[in-house]
Structure 1
Amino acid sequence: MPDIVISEFIEPHAISQGLRGFDVHHDKTLVDQPEALKALLGESRALIVRNATPVTADVMDAGPNLVCIGRLGVGLDNIDVEAARARGIAVYPATGANAVSVAEWVIATAMVLLRGAYGSTLDVIAGTWPRENLIAGREIFGKRLGLVGFGSIARETALRGAALGMSVAAYDPFVAADDPAWTQPFGRVERLTLDEIVATSDVISLHVPLTAETRNLIDAGRLLTSKPGAILINGARGGIVDEAALAQALQEGNLGGAALDVFVEEPLSAAKAAVFVGCPNLILTPHIAGRSLEANERVSSMVVERVRAHLEGLAGA
């Protein structure tokens, strides 16, 4: 039986170099084979997953020798953290490893949505020259970037927004008012309430986990209070935004645009996606904001190093 089971995609060199000397079973199809996964965990000491493998109490019980779980990403909503804690199983996310990738996705989509000119390729090829329809695009310079949550990804986003001439504000009740994080290299980040962020920001970017408190945090009522023409971007977790309310806000012109990389249902089915049909100025991507080549390298290396250190630490104890 393997020492380490990996159920989703990981950079191959992270196994060949970072886990040399360990018996590793890597099969990215295990994410869709829960019983096969459990069968492999009988004597395994570590499990490494991304966001699509549910790591429930039952899965942990199938691996009585499990001592750690590596998460190739930052969100832990697919891992029963309380069950892991009760069993003495350490959980290692790749905190910060994909922050740059997500931050760049946020800023890039914000610029595309504000300018509104990048869907014209086929019209230009066809010779229709739709110039008059595209002259009302907006610059990102001088706009307010409002961050809901102010962790590592939000701070990377703030840095890039400020470099483009944006003013930056954030809401995060878990970052104290006197925390040095509010003073960034580019200057002070304004600390606001959630309602103030929504009401005054030109670009609202979400950076919070999905919890009971954040589910449908951005709902129909809150969307109605947004600044005219505001752009909403969610690269955090599905369920933080009420998707039907967002679609309605776009169709009725209460929002200037939106980008979603995460959804309540993933993969998003055609039936669930139907709510977005006809929505103007909308970008949908399939949970790839944190999946650049460079981020994959960093995430894989960080998790492997932490898992290896944990197993070697036990061996030397």
Structure 2
Amino acid sequence: MHDIVFLDRDSLHATVRPPAFAHRWRDYSATGADQVVERLQGASIAITNKVPIRLDAIARLPALKMIAVAATGTDNVDLAACRARGIAVANIRDYSVVSVPEHTFALMLAVRRSLRAYAADVDAGLWQRSTRFCLLDHPIGDLAGSRLGIVGYGALGRRVAQIARAFGMEVVVHSRSRIDNADDPQVTQVPLDELLRIADVVSLHLPLSDATRHMIGERELATMRRNAILINTARGGLVDEAALAEALTKGVIAGAGFDVLSKEPPAPDNPLLKLRLPNFVLTPHVAWASAGAMQTLADMLVDNLEAWVAGKPSNLV
């Protein structure tokens, strides 16, 4: 009999089927960092989307045998502590290969075509008072004929590349691993600095780690073209937010579309929250969250539990 505790059930708007093994299940809508140990006492399986499970908590949970992360990113779990204790950690992979790329292009189009600025003009009554049939007060650019630089080339990066080519964009890629051109002959792989210099749009699709934290900072932003835009639907910590706010304010780059911040929910003093610029669009970490993607995630989550209990673990980190 396994005791299963889902620490932040309200983060997943989907039907979670009961696992096909003997178990007891407890849901908590949300869990604070100071409640983790209390709520996981006696649990053999913990499910978390974003609730941190750190070394100090792991040390006080002797019954814990598995952590099922209801997401792809595992930076909220102390993986080294889990390995030392023999605790299995499984994540969810490739569940949002439709949702995240679609949101990526929604942000891309919103920034490139000044949708936020034009919608605000209509709300302010400017179109209604115009002497012309249209307003042309903000720049409008096409994706077709431009160059997209994709940083990170897993399942999401590949899907973004596929959509970009349908838009008529040229694609260049920076990846930490070598891309086999036999599998993807259209890929042009370049160093990060070169990608930043030549891309009209830079889109991030890689996990957050010590090696990638603040990989886009003041120097990298200054390397980008002045007409370039930066899109981030991956992790907020990949970008130095203070440097980005300054770059947008000073016109170092043409715009940005973000779905993630370094701390979520964000602190009120986050510099990106203070921006009131027509060329910056921020959404609250919802790129992953289409109804279809969340149901796929829920199904894969239970698949991971059942596979581990059956002695055939899948998606271990």
TM-aligned CA distance change 1:33 to 1:265, over 3 Å: closer
The answer for the alignment partner of 1:24 in structure 2 is 25
| TM-fit CA distance, 1:78 | 0.4
Indicate the larger mover: 109-118 or 4-13. Answer: 4-13
| TM-fit CA distance, 1:118 | 4.4
TM-aligned CA distance change 1:122 to 1:147, over 3 Å: closer
TM-score scaled by length of structure 2: 0.88
- 3-state SS of paired residue (1:141): coil
- 3-state SS of paired residue (2:98): helix
- 3-state SS of paired residue (2:234): coil
Partner AA of 2:137 in structure 1: N
The answer for the alignment partner of 1:128 in structure 2 is 129
| TM-fit CA distance, 1:179 | 5.9
The answer for the alignment partner of 1:302 in structure 2 is 300
Indicate the larger mover: 253-262 or 124-133. Answer: 124-133
Equivalent residues, number = 304
TM-score scaled by length of structure 1: 0.88
The answer for the alignment partner of 1:270 in structure 2 is 268
| TM-fit CA distance, 1:177 | 4.3
Q: Deviations over 1:198-232 (max 9, x none)?
A: 11111101112222221211111111110221010
TM-aligned CA distance change 1:12 to 1:238, over 3 Å: closer
The answer for the alignment partner of 2:72 in structure 1 is 74
The answer for the alignment partner of 1:115 in structure 2 is 113
- 3-state SS of paired residue (2:137): helix
TM-aligned CA distance change 1:12 to 1:298, over 3 Å: closer
Partner AA of 1:32 in structure 2: G
CA RMSD of aligned residues (A): 2.2
Q: 2:217 aligns with which of 208, 214, 219?
A: 219
Partner AA of 1:170 in structure 2: V
Q: Is the 8 A contact 1:149 1:206 kept in 2?
A: yes
- 3-state SS of paired residue (1:131): coil
Separation of aligned partners in 2, 1:85 and 1:221: 36
Separation of aligned partners in 2, 1:56 and 1:264: 18
The answer as to 2:256 corresponding to 1:258 is yes
Partner AA of 2:3 in structure 1: D
| TM-fit CA distance, 1:20 | 6.8
The answer for the alignment partner of 1:233 in structure 2 is 231
Q: Is the 8 A contact 2:117 2:278 kept in 1?
A: no
The answer for the alignment partner of 1:47 in structure 2 is 46
Separation of aligned partners in 2, 1:12 and 1:234: 25
Q: 2:83 aligns with which of 74, 82, 85?
A: 85
Separation of aligned partners in 1, 2:120 and 2:275: 20
Gaps of 5+ in 2: 313-317
TM-aligned CA distance change 1:273 to 1:254, over 3 Å: closer
The answer for the alignment partner of 2:315 in structure 1 is none
Separation of aligned partners in 2, 1:50 and 1:264: 16
Gaps of 5+ in 1: none
The answer for the alignment partner of 2:15 in structure 1 is 13
Alignment of 1:89-104 (within 5 A): 89-104=87-102
TM-aligned CA distance change 1:123 to 1:77, over 3 Å: same
Separation of aligned partners in 1, 2:61 and 2:20: 20
Separation of aligned partners in 1, 2:308 and 2:217: 42
The answer as to 2:149 corresponding to 1:149 is no
Q: Is the 8 A contact 2:237 2:261 kept in 1?
A: yes
Partner AA of 2:176 in structure 1: P
The answer for the alignment partner of 1:279 in structure 2 is 277
- 3-state SS of paired residue (2:115): coil
Q: Is the 8 A contact 2:229 2:253 kept in 1?
A: yes
- 3-state SS of paired residue (1:13): coil
Partner AA of 1:209 in structure 2: P
Separation of aligned partners in 2, 1:69 and 1:137: 47
Separation of aligned partners in 1, 2:45 and 2:84: 16
Separation of aligned partners in 1, 2:15 and 2:115: 40
| TM-fit CA distance, 1:273 | 4.1
Q: Is the 8 A contact 2:214 2:239 kept in 1?
A: yes
